[in-house]
Amino acid sequence: MITLNLNGKDHELDVPDDMPLLWAIRDVVGYSGTKFGCGMGLCGACTIHIDGQAMRSCITPVGQAVGKAVTTIDALHGDPVGQAVQQAWLDVGVAQCGYCQGGQIMSATALLKGNRNPDDAQIEAAMAGNICRCGTYNRIKSAIHSAAGKLEAKA
Amino acid sequence: MSTLPMDDFAVANLSRRGFLKGLGVTAGALVIAANWGWRDAFAEEKKSYGADGMPNGWRDDPKVFLSIAADGVVTFVCSRSEMGQGVRTSLAMVVADELEADWAFMRVIQAPGDEQRFGNQDTDGSRSMRHWYEPMRRCGAAARAMLEQAAANRWQIPVGECQAREHRVVHQPSGRSLGFGELAEAASQLDVPPRDSLKLKSPEQFRFIGKESTRAIDGADIVNGRAVYGLDPRFEGMLYAVVARPPVYGGKVVRYDDSATLKVPGVVKVIEIAGSPLPSEYQPLGGVAVVARNTWAAIKGREALKVEWNDGPNAAYESRAYRDSLSKAAHAPGKVVRDLGNVQAVFDQASQVLEAEYYIPHLAQAPMEPPVATAIVNDGTCEVWAPTQAPQVTRERLADRLGIPFDKVTVNVTLLGGGFGRKSKPDFVIEAALLAKEFPGTHLRVQWTREDDLHCSYFHTVSVEYLRAALGKEGRPEAWLHRSVAPSISALFGPDPKHESPIELGMGVLNLPFAIPNLRLENPEAAAHTRVGWFRSVSNIPHAFAIQSFIAELAASAGVDHKAYLLQLLGPDRKIDPRSLGDEWNHGESPELYPIDTARLRGVIEKATQEAGWGKKQEKGRGLGLAVHYSFVTYVAAVLDVEVKDDGALLVHRATIAVDCGPQINPERIRSQMEGACVMGIGNAALGEISFANGRVQQDNLHMFEVARMPLAPKDIAVHLVRPAGEVPLGGVGEPGVPPIAPALCNAIFNATGKRIRDLPIRAQLKDWRSA
């Protein structure tokens, strides 16, 4: 049995250590906001936070998350930075199909936690691992700036 | 169904609310044989166009599409699939506007596949808004009239004194009013008023149509991870499967060894799926499925599986050799599809003849959500949850393949995590049902991995386009020869015609609108060796790339400014009947209602160039590139401002897009679709390639089939919505933004570097441009 602390709650999971967190979260626990896109850490659709760091859950074995706090998009609204990012996404009208956007928001939130005022180049560097096939990149950039501005005003 | 909010699937419950009565599946099997998006476009009897010409046409009955609850909540049933084009929001805007509803009370649920009830549901061809705008306006207006009538009955006054306004019906003289929720029950008892009695709003009365303020209906669900896509419906005790498919199109399982697979913890069963004879249409490719308790166990089980394949007739498919064969075909005469004047005579005497050959490889749609579907089969019924662009077609194929009546099949449509044409083909849904049949009463999901998606897609065609022109006075083309060589989507559905269908040729080749006196269009043979299918914008992509690049080459060779040259080639403003160009298809639209209007082409060219600062001087290494294309009855011009770094890396500073799609219903979505199309178009051109060796796709995942990431997107995308003069009908939006991008990019690269890109993808072709 593996104890996984997910979205603030401990879950006892009967899964092999090497099962990627993505499938443990989706198939075993049942949170569905984290998406499968590539299985190789190439697209970012499965991005989650482990102790606040953005990680690709499709290549992170569940065993590696033991003793750490795992957060998914499903519970991000409880985080003030996450909430600001989500709101900015709505204000800017980022999403098209929306499938990748949970992962984009998780990456953007992690970025803003480490850098409250990223410039375009820093945003590109932080977000280059998240693919959006609908091509919403410019709006993602705008939304990150907008969230940064709102967080700055609040601080 | 356990942990998820499944409102989107609670359709049956609707019959208890307000208007909507008994939303069940229709009786009787309706199985249409050659049922594809363009299916009857060339039926001899064809007289109807637009929505009338689609299978099962359109509906506008508010009792089908709307319900209003006692608390005033309006539930709209969206019959078109949502894949990011915003159709759930845009159609809801149209209905809400005519209904005089308060947007805060609007809810949208998704219709299951049922075209008898909902009209055509094939979500492709950029036609949801142009086919459904008018019916949905009438739908909203009819419901409004019923609410007004219900109020008039209640107050015992003439209906003419009652007016719906912002979710209430108001009696002006007395100031009385009743909320929609209070009137819904009584209104639902009334007959739907006849169409000719409906009073549609005039444009100045619109509150949502054409306005910017409406928020996406699914926005909050998306940012909170609550939106339900194909891989999200969750059921107690469900099973998960992945399938080892033949690596070559037409391949078969010879034998397999599942002994190691069955030892993987969580694996439940290994099942062979029968393939289909070629061409396989929408049927699964066959293979060996591993069914497990979770997706990971299924994936591990498949890794342990040993399968021996017979590769079949396409085992030798090799992209480099195939390209040579296309090229060879392009340099010899082929089937003539349009012939004007005497091209050969002009070429024989011309002093200046230019020729060029352009190549675009196969592409994969690679929606971020790979194909996935969940099914349950029990007691002669089948229910599926699938991200499908074609719910009715899916339902027909399921009934057919399972051998059960059509009315015993339910197709629930989830949100699509991208579609781009891939999810018009229900092979993956059929797989889920075939496997679920082995576990009666248990839900089973088939999950495609990214490798599966890239190896077994329905690929964008591969093409060589050969162009030749004789330049006369002022460098203008006196003669124009275009040979387009590409395997056809038609090869999926019957014997390979080895020629592009009139529909594919109608995407930019036949309907070339330029004033050139001698013109010859040919289509030499090309055989298909893989599943060729729709990819966003379809054959417009290679055709626009070749034609718009070639025109820039001619202009450069004539020493004339590209924009001036293009406008001159366009000739005087005129409306061209596409039939006069040999294009009987015209994207399915009436040639009278939708002529090719060269003034609108000129309009977008002028707008894009003006906004982009066309003509400004730029230093070496930076250039502007222009292209224009008419597709899906919409006009789009693009100017890209591109810097080519010393190492050949591309930096797209700015994209300026001008689009004329006729009336603009949801301007916000038009802009976002154009932005996305621009990014996808740049990705296609710079990076996109699916290639084959030994019949097998060589790209395994997104590090090998590369798509645009943020750094490749233009630093700025400015979309200008051009309003046409006079009354014109709606054009498409989802697809027409893509075709002009690749040629605009390559024209910009030429202006920046002097290097002409004729083979896509661009990839490393520019790395030595400084020293060249």
**pLDDT tens profile B579-601:** 999 999 999 999 999 999 999 99
Does residue B25 or residue B675 have the better pLDDT?
Answer: B675
Residue B234 at interface with chain A, using a CB cutoff of 8 Å: yes
Q: Spell out which residues of chain B touch residue A35, defining contact as CB-CB under 8 Å.
A: 229, 231, 368-369, 417
Same domain, A38 and A84: no
Would the CB atoms of A33 and B224 count as touching at under 8 Å? yes
Question: Are residues B229 and A139, on separate chains, in Cβ contact within 8 Å?
Answer: no
pLDDT digits (tens, 9 = 90+) for B476-520: 999 999 999 999 999 999 999 999 999 999 999 999 999 899 999
Which residue, among A11, A26, A72, A97, would best test binding to B if mutated, counting the most B CBs under 10 Å from its CB?
Answer: A97
In this predicted structure, the answer to whether residue B39 has a pLDDT above a threshold of 50 is no
Nearest to B21 by CA among B173, B151, B266, B189: B189
Instruction: State whether B223 and A86 contact (CB < 8 Å).
Output: yes
Give residue A111's pLDDT band: very low, low, confident or very high (50, 70, 90): very high
Tell which of A33, A59, A75 closes a domain.
A75
Whether pLDDT at B45 is above 90: no
> Measured between CB atoms, does B490 come within 8 Å of chain A?
no
Q: Which two tokens stand for residue B371?
A: 């194909």
What is the sign of the dihedral through the CA atoms of B199, B202, B205 and B211? positive
CA distance A123 to B625: 27
User: Which CATH number is A24's domain given?
Assistant: 3.10.20.30
Could you write out the DSSP letters of every residue in A25-49?
Answer: IIIII---SS--S-SSSSS-TTEEE
Q: Check A137 against B420: CB less than 8 A apart.
A: no
Contact assignment for A137 to B220 by CB distance below 8 Å: no
Per-residue pLDDT of B345-382, as tens digits, reads 999 999 999 999 999 999 999 999 999 999 999 999 99
Instruction: Give whole-number Cα distances, B397 to B124, B134, B409, B476, in Å.
Output: 18, 30, 10, 52
Q: What is the 3-state secondary structure (H, E, C) of B507-569?
A: CCCCCCCCCCCEEEEEECCCCCCCCECCCCCCCHHHHHHHHHHHHHHHHHHHCCCHHHHHHHH
Distance CA(B636)–CA(B644), nearest Å, equals 25
CATH number, residue A88: 1.10.150.120
Rounded Cα–Cα distance for residues B126 and B731 (Å)? 8
Longest dimension (CA), chain B: 87
Task: For residues B93-121, give the mean pLDDT.
Answer: 98
* Distance of alpha carbon B274 from alpha carbon A54, whole angstroms: 42
Residue B645 contacts A, CB cutoff 8 Å: no
Residue B44 has pLDDT above 80, yes or no: no
Q: How many helices (H) and strands (E) does chain B have?
A: 18, 28
| Nearest of B79, B498, B118 to residue B325 by alpha carbon | B498
Strands (E), B246-399: 252-257, 267-273, 287-292, 306-310, 335-340, 352-360, 372-378, 381-386
Mean pLDDT for the stretch of residues B204-213: 94
Q: Are residues A87 and A67 in the same domain?
A: no
Task: Provide φ and ψ at A127, rounded to 5°.
Answer: -105, 0
**Token code pair at residue B445:** 């999901």
Q: What is the DSSP letter of A24?
A: I
How many CA atoms within 13 Å lie on the side-chain side of B654?
14
For B556, phi and psi rounded to 5 degrees? -60, -40
For the entire predicted model, the pTM comes to: 0.95
Contacts of A133 in chain B (CB under 8 A): 366-368, 418, 420, 680, 707
- N residues, chain B: 772
Cβ contact, residue pair A32, B228, below 8 Å = yes
Cα B360–chain centre separation: 19
B contacts of A20 (beta carbons < 8 Å) = 296
Burial (CB < 10 A; 0-12, 13-18, 19+), residue B362, is buried
Interface test with A, best of B8, B215, B223, B738 (most A CBs within 10 A): B223
pLDDT of residue B40: 43
- Chain A CA closest to residue B86: A96
Q: For residue B19, what pLDDT is reported?
A: 38
Give the distance from residue A87's alpha carbon to the nearest chain B alpha carbon, in angstroms: 8
The domain boundary, picked from A75, A94, A117, lies at A75
Per the CB < 8 Å rule, is A38 touching B299?
no
CA dihedral sign of residues B450, B452, B458, B463: positive
Q: Which of B468, B461, B472, B572 is nearest to B514 (CA)?
A: B572
- Confidence at residue B46, expressed as pLDDT on a 0 to 100 scale: 54
pLDDT above 90 (res B398): yes
Q: Say yes or no to pLDDT of B312 above 50.
A: yes
Contact residues, chain A, for B710 at CB < 8 Å: 123-124, 127-128, 130, 137, 140-141
Cβ–Cβ of A26/B295 closer than 8 Å? yes
Kindly report the nearest CA distance between residue B496 and chain A, in angstroms: 31
Do A65 and A87 lie in one domain? The reply is no
Return the pLDDT at A155: 77
Best A11, A77, A96, A109 member to test B by mutation, with max B CBs in 10 Å, is A96
Closest CA to A49 of A32, A73, A85: A73
Can you name the residues that pair with A5 across neighbouring β-strands?
Answer: A10, A69
Contact: A40, B703; criterion CB under 8 Å: yes
Tell if the CB–CB gap between B216 and A95 is shorter than 8 Å: yes
pLDDT of residue B198: 97
Residue-level pLDDT at B214: 75
Do A86 and A130 belong to one domain? Answer: yes
pLDDT above 70 (res B606): yes
Q: What is chain B's mean pLDDT, rounded?
A: 94
Answer yes or no: is pLDDT of B24 > 70.
no
Residues of A in contact with B449 (CB under 8 A): 39
- Report the residue from B223, B419, B717 with minimal CB separation from A101: B223
Which residues, numbered 713 to 732 in chain B, qualify as contacts with chain A under a Cβ-Cβ cut-off of 8 Å?
Answer: 713-717
End of a domain among A35, A54, A75? Answer: A75
Contact B2 A30 (CB under 8 A): yes
A6 and A34 co-located in one domain = yes
DSSP string covering B618-665: --TTEEEEEEEEEETTEEEEEEEEEEE-TTS-EEEEEEEEEEE-SS-S
Of A45, A93, A133, Cβ closest to residue B216: A93
Residue B21: is its pLDDT beyond 90?
A: no
Are B710 and B683 a contacting pair, CB within 8 Å? Answer: no
User: Which of A86, A123, A133 is closest, CB to CB, to B368?
Assistant: A133
Domain that holds residue A6: 2-75
Model pLDDT for residues B407-430, shown as the tens digit of each residue: 999 999 999 999 999 999 999 999
Using CA atoms, how far residue B646 sits from B33, B440, B649, B715, B768, in Å, is 56, 62, 7, 19, 8
> Cβ of B86 under 8 Å from any chain A Cβ?
yes
The structural domain count of chain A equals: 2
CA distance A82 to chain B (A): 10
Query: With contact defined as beta carbons under 8 Å apart, do B667 and B675 qualify?
Result: no
Domains and CATH numbers, chain B: 7-223 (3.30.365.10), 239-313+371-447 (3.30.365.10), 319-363+458-753 (3.30.365.10)
Q: Does the bond joining B279 to the residue before it have cis omega, within 30 degrees of 0? A: yes
